[in-house]
């Protein structure tokens, strides 16, 4: 599946340049590949698994995920407080 032009043309500049958070952009791309890229709605991934896959530290993953949540670019569901998070990519630019 092709990545939306918005992700490459606007979101990259916004997250990496304006927010100074290239790790958040990298996380968004990784979560995109695990969900939208595979034509599934959600992906259950631990912070450690994301860190390993992206080359980021676990703490950088946690900070990046918080930024994506604040920007309403990802939604997280947990079956319990200690369950592995299930991520859903949000694409607000499609609803304009």
Angle at 33 between CA 10 and CA 49, to 5 degrees: 115
Nearest of 2, 57, 50, 46 to residue 27 by alpha carbon = 50
Report the alpha-carbon distance of residue 7 to residue 14 in Å, rounded: 10
- Fold category of 5-95 in CATH: Arc Repressor Mutant, subunit A (1.10.10)
pTM of this prediction? 0.84
Judged against a pLDDT cut of 70, whether residue 96 lies above it is answered with: no
pLDDT tens column, 21-79:
788 988 999 999 899 889 999 999 999 999 999 999 999 999 999 999 999 999 999 99
What is the secondary structure of 5-45 as a DSSP string?
HHIIIIIHIIIIIIS--HHHHHHHHHHHHHTGGGT-S-EE-
């Amino acid at each position: 599946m092709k990545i939306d032009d918005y992700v490459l043309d606007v979101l990259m500049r916004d997250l990496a340049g304006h927010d100074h958070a290239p790790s958040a952009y990298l996380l968004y791309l990784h979560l995109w590949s695990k969900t939208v890229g595979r034509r599934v709605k959600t992906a259950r991934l631990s912070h450690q698994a994301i860190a390993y896959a992206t080359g980021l530290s676990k703490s950088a993953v946690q900070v990046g995920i918080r930024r994506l949540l604040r920007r309403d670019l990802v939604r997280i569901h947990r079956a319990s407080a200690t369950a592995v998070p299930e991520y859903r990519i949000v694409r607000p630019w499609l609803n304009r």
